[in-house]
Each structure stands twice: as structure tokens, then as C-alpha cells.
Amino acid sequence: MTYRVREDISMGNAADVRIDPATSPPTIAFSAHPHGGPEALWFHFRIERDPDASPPGNQVRLLLRHYLSLAYTHPDMTANIRPVIRTPASDWRRLEAPQRIDLPDGQIDLAWTIAAPPPGGSLEIALCPPYGPQEVEQLIADTTGYWHADPIGVTPAGRPLTRLSNRYSSPSDQTKSPNTPGLYMIARQHAGETPGSWVLDGLLRALAHAGDRSPLTWIIPLADLDAVLQGDYGKDRFPYDLNRAWGHPPMRHESLVIQRDMRRWAQRCTPILALDFHAPGPCEDTGLYCYPPDEKESPKLRDKVDPWLTRFREVLGEYAAENFARTGNYRSRWETPTFCDFAGHEFNCPAIAIETCYALADHGRIVLTPHHYQEIGRRLAQAILAHQPQI
């Protein structure tokens, strides 16, 4: 076989791979693997080409099958599905809009014709640039010791679950000087939602740059670490969606561990803000938007959140969706509390879930790269630094 597909890589995901070298150009068909969950969306794999590849050919056709079976897809929005590719020599690059293939039975497949890797070479394809432990390590290295990494427990599979922090402070510091503002952030409760991680990455780089001016900040960068590493999409993943597992008692070991960590954090600061980073459905192209607490259910919390929404919208400019503050009224498989519910009710802390599109913003006028996501994070940091209570 001229080509080989490897999904057994970190954060890898592909199902039902079929390689047809007889088409012109050769076709590599694949589906997103649900990995046992009800929803599928994330994919990420490497294509390797034989060193003595024949026929020679310089193109390959990627075929994403069963588009309408993917999470939150719409038949009229296929053009918004814009995966990324990279070679060992180049950084992630977003593909153009796909060719839409309407099958006689009503299904839709999506195709892209791309440059083939050279004989003996490889390329990676993913829904969105992956972000995992290696990127967290890079962030720590680039910010020269500003962020400490500590395990706060283990995941259900027994891996250490890491929390980053800029300083620990102590409960007695808070007693003496009760105006230490505190920020707690979490990303990847849904493992495949990597735009959220890239935004958080940019935010943390900006807070590191601000040094002592930054609030006491504790972060869980990869909350569902097991799912991240095994390449799950993770939204509504079984046995229990992590972002619905925040009640008393918590329904996942990760939320149990993080709840206890948040209590330690809250003893050391005055919680001013909690942020939870996600990505919406893959067709969304309007820009970044938020889920604040419902104003009917939690009017007091909503009053505390609204000024943050105004500030964020202002700094985000062209990256913000017109419909910026939305109500999470879509049907959920679990109606139990979210991370934001927990932060709000337990610490009276304004808490916001932030949704960053996979590929596009400003109705497609901005094609998002990691650089854009990091810029969004930098702008959020700018708003936090400008509006935190004075220490």
C-alpha cells in the first residue's frame, strides 16, 4: 500500500479508514470515531507514504464521511468545516472549504484535495490544531518558571491531574490582607475542544508577562486528560459528561479533585472570576461567545458577571459574536450542575463558559489559527488585568 494512516498517535482519532490508490488522486476516506460516546466530531491522524511510492502522484484526496452524523452539524454549513494539516517541516495550516458530495441516499461527505507527502514523508490532519501535555510544557518553558505545575490528584485512569498556579499564597495571607483577587480557570472538560486551550494558552502567557500584577491564578489546563490523550471528542462522553458532574456529590473523579482544589484556592483569595473554556459546534462562524449564569435562576450572580461580559466584548472587538451572551438552553443529556454553577454557588464567584469557534470568526472573515486564539486570550487577560480590584 502506498499510504498508511496512523491514528495510534497522541490525541489520535479516525475510524473506518479506507485507502483507495486506484482513484486519481488516491483517496483516503475516514470517519470521526465516537470512542464509545454518543457524539463524534474530533479527528486527528497521520498519513505516511511509502519511501518507494508508486504511482508517483503529488496529490491525495481526503474524504470525511458521514458529515451529518457529526455533532452539531448543519447541511447548509459544510463550507465552515476547515480542518488543519501540517508536515514535519511546516506549522498547522487550515484547509480551504471542502467539496461537498451529496450521496443518493441523502448523506453528505466532504472532500479536500491536498498536496501529498513526498515518498517516505508524512502529514498530519486534524479538526483543529491539537493541544496536549506537550503544549502545556512549552507554555511553562516559554514563561520561564512563572507557572508552577502540581498534581492535585489522579484521573480515572490513574494519570496525574495537573494544576498550574502562579503562586500559592496562604489562608493566613488572606486573613491579614483579604483583598487578594483570585482567578480559577479550566479547559478541556470536553476533550476535543482545543480552541479553548489555545485561548487559555494566550491568556496565561499574558498573565505571566504581567507578573505580580496578575491575580492569584490557578488553572486546570487539561481537565479530562484521559479523553484528551485518547483522542476523544468528549462532549457528553460516557459515563458522565465532565461539565455536568459538578453537583454534590460530584459524578466524576476529576470534578471531585478539582472541587477540593478550588476550595483551597478560595481560602487563599477573594474569588473574582472563574472561566471555563470550550468550543461550540463545528459550523459556528460568528466568533467568540459566552454562557453566563441565567438571569432568572441566578440574578445576583448574573449581576456580577455582566460587567465582565461588557469588558470582554469590548476588548475582543472583531473576534466577538454579535450574539455574545447566550443562554444554555439546548437539550442536555444530564441536567446536573456545571463547573460554572459550582463556582457561582459555592464561592459566589462570577463564572463564565467561553465558546471559541473551531475555524472561523466574524462570519468567516477571520480564519482562525493558534496565533488568533492566543491573541483572543491576550485580550481577555488585558480586560482581567485592567478591571481586577486593586490589591
Report the residue number, 216 or 290, with the smaller CB distance to Zn ion: 290
What are the percentages of helix, strand and coil residues in the chain, rounded to 5?
30, 25, 45
Report the residue number, 72 or 119, with the smaller CB distance to Zn ion: 72
Collapse the DSSP code of 271 into the 3-class scheme (helix H, G, I; strand E, B; otherwise coil) and give the result.
Answer: strand
Name residues whose C-beta falls within 8 Å of residue 80's C-beta, 6 or more positions apart in sequence. Answer: 97, 282, 283, 284, 285, 359, 360, 364
CB of 6 to Zn ion, least distance (A): 27
What CA–CA distance (Å, rounded) separates 326 from 318?
18
Name residues whose C-beta falls within 8 Å of residue 279's C-beta, 6 or more positions apart in sequence. Answer: 128, 190, 192, 193, 194, 195, 196, 355, 356, 357, 358
Q: Which residue is nearest to Zn ion (CB)?
A: 278
Report the residue number, 188 or 378, with the smaller CB distance to Zn ion: 188
DSSP letter for each residue of 336-380: S--HHHHHHHHH---EEEEE--SSEETTTTEE--HHHHHHHHHHH
Work out the number of other CB atoms within 10 angstroms of the CB of residue 175. Answer: 9
CB of 30 to Zn ion, least distance (A): 23
Report the residue number, 46 or 190, with the smaller CB distance to Zn ion: 190
Contacts (CB under 5 A) with Zn ion, residues 163-192: 190
CB of 368 to Zn ion, least distance (A): 17
Pairing label, strands 27-31, 59-64: parallel
Report the residue number, 190 or 378, with the smaller CB distance to Zn ion: 190
CB of 227 to Zn ion, least distance (A): 12
Report the residue number, 190 or 313, with the smaller CB distance to Zn ion: 190
Report the residue number, 193 or 284, with the smaller CB distance to Zn ion: 193
Contacts (CB under 5 A) with Zn ion, residues 30-49: none
CB of 279 to Zn ion, least distance (A): 6
Report the residue number, 284 or 346, with the smaller CB distance to Zn ion: 284
The set of cell numbers assigned to 250 is 460530584
Work out the number of other CB atoms within 10 angstroms of the CB of residue 336. Answer: 16
Size of the site for Zn ion (CB under 5 A): 3
Longest dimension (CA), the chain: 74
Cβ burial, residue 256 (10 Å; 0-12/13-18/19+): middle
CB of 355 to Zn ion, least distance (A): 7
CB of 287 to Zn ion, least distance (A): 17
The reply on whether position 237 binds Zn ion by CB under 5 A is no
Q: 199 near 369, Cβ under 8 Å?
A: no
Contacts (CB under 5 A) with Zn ion, residues 263-302: 278
CB of 164 to Zn ion, least distance (A): 20
Chain positions contacting Zn ion, by CB under 5 A: 190, 193, 278
